Amino acid sequence: MQAAIDEALLGLREGGVPIGAVLVEDGKIIGRGRNRRVQQQDQLMHAEIDCLRHARLTDGYHNTTLYSTLMPCYLCAGAVVQFGIKKVVVGEGRSAPAARNFMQSHGVEVLDLDNALCKEMMAEYIRQNPALWEKFLAELNPDILKPSLPSISIRHHLLPGDVGYITYLHAVLYAPRQGWDHTFDSYVAIPLAQFALRNSPQERIWIVENEGRIVGCVAIVKFSESEAQLRWLLLRPALRSQGWGRKLVQEALAFSRDAGYSSVFLWTVSALPAAAGLYRSVGFRETEKVTHELWGRRVTEVKYEMELK
């Protein structure tokens, strides 16, 4: 893995995305590569593809192991399956989990080392290059490549595994981009678990599913007899341009009125301007801003409130 990290760091010094890969056979490196999509303006030049292009020709790659600092995307996973590589070892898989299930379904062993250096390397790059990372992530995320998500449904009841999966979605969609650490998971999981235990008629969750897979959510939580809190608004990228965020917020506000609340508030962070724009567009107003150490970073939290009529 260190050789793959060295390739990633070399790519970073060149101004590229810090992802590196090496191909190993019988304990010897037979191919090296790094992500060069920025350097060469070639969106196909992913680290694993670069590695395979430079790999020594053999009678087959069935006895090789591919080491990559980041979980391969579908493009690279397809190459792994195509060439019969039986094992893939990755430094980290949270920034772009992408095609792990695809590789495993084709008999590829996938090992995630959860390497601290690989995680920090990607987190720092994402913090410094958010726009480019969004473009790069769009290539990796299979949902974004789909022209539509036709089988969308919403349910209001929790099923086994929902608390954990919603926490996971928050972690993979927000934490890598913002550089937050594992304590962000507890910020989501603890109150969500408490919500699950209450089963109050003055509270409701909206869970958005596509073909049985959770792709979004929001909830109204009781803060007092007269005040509700909007929490856990989340959408996978493929849904964000289809109006689902507005639909969820509007349904949550309508429920709050029917439940007898006189006001609703929420907390967000200043690093999410699109969400802030949505809140303001439906009538929320900013009332408070606090900057402090949170989730391993210095974070500015912003409170929005709305009076219900």
What residues are labeled active site? 48
Count CA within 13 A, CB hemisphere, residue 164: 3
Q: How many helices (H) and strands (E) does the chain have?
A: 11, 12
**First-to-last C-alpha distance (Å) of the chain:** 59
The answer to whether 11 and 18 have CB atoms below 8 angstroms apart is yes
Backbone angles phi, psi at 208, to 5 degrees: -90, 130
Number of neighbouring beta carbons within 10 Å of residue 156: 10
Q: What is the DSSP letter of 147?
A: S
| Cα gap 241→45, rounded to integer Å | 28
Q: Cα separation of 164 and 295, whole Å? A: 18
SS3 215: strand
Cα 32 to Cα 35, 49, 50, distances in angstroms: 11, 10, 7
